[in-house]
Amino acid sequence: MKLINLIFVFSLFFLITACGGSGKKKTVSTDQKISLPETDLEKGAVLYRAKCMNCHMKSGKGIEKFYPPLAGSNYLSENLEEAIYMVKFGSNKPIKVNGVKYNSLMPASGLTDEELVLVFNYILNSWGNSYGSVTLDQVKAVKRK
């Protein structure tokens, strides 16, 4: 069993190096038009996978009529403050994303303001989105109504 594992690891290593891996760290795939530290985007991606992906999916496309898309979302690009509010405090009001109505529940994320900055900068700049970035001050300014 151990030997098989070893062989697997070695062949994996071989594959990676054979593919021209120059020892550079793999970066998160985003269409990065703004300059954010790569490590912050990676942290955002980790938070996304843990806290958002179940509903909004890996592709950011969501599930039509139940979970709205973040990829290409006009809601996210046009109502950033409101979007932050929803993720911070939860939401169950009817909204329209790319012309499709959604009225299901998104629970409050439970993330800190610092984590919200990371996850928002990730979703604003992933899957072809190029929606700018948010600052900690912007996230802090979003208070419960």
Q: Which helix (H) or strand (E) holds 96?
A: strand 95-97
123 binds ligand HEC (CB under 6 A): yes
Task: Determine contact, residues 124/34, Cβ cutoff 8 Å.
Answer: no
| Minimum gap (Å) between residue 14 Cβ and ligand HEC | 37
Q: How far apart are the C-alpha atoms of 43 and 38, rounded to whole Å? A: 9
Span 13-42, contacts to ligand HEC by CB under 6 A: none
124 binds ligand HEC (CB under 6 A): no
| Minimum gap (Å) between residue 92 Cβ and ligand HEC | 5
133 binds ligand HEC (CB under 6 A): no
- Contact string 64-103 vs ligand HEC (x = CB under 6 A): ---xxxx--x-xx------x--xx---xxx-x-x----xx
Per DSSP, the three-state class of 87 is helix
| Site residue total, ligand HEC (CB under 6 A) | 30
CA atoms within 13 A on the CB side of 49: 6
Span 37-56, contacts to ligand HEC by CB under 6 A: 51-52, 54-56
Instruction: Please list, in sequence order, all residues whose beta carbon lies within 8 angstroms of the beta carbon of residue 57, skipping any fewer than 6 positions away.
Output: 63, 67
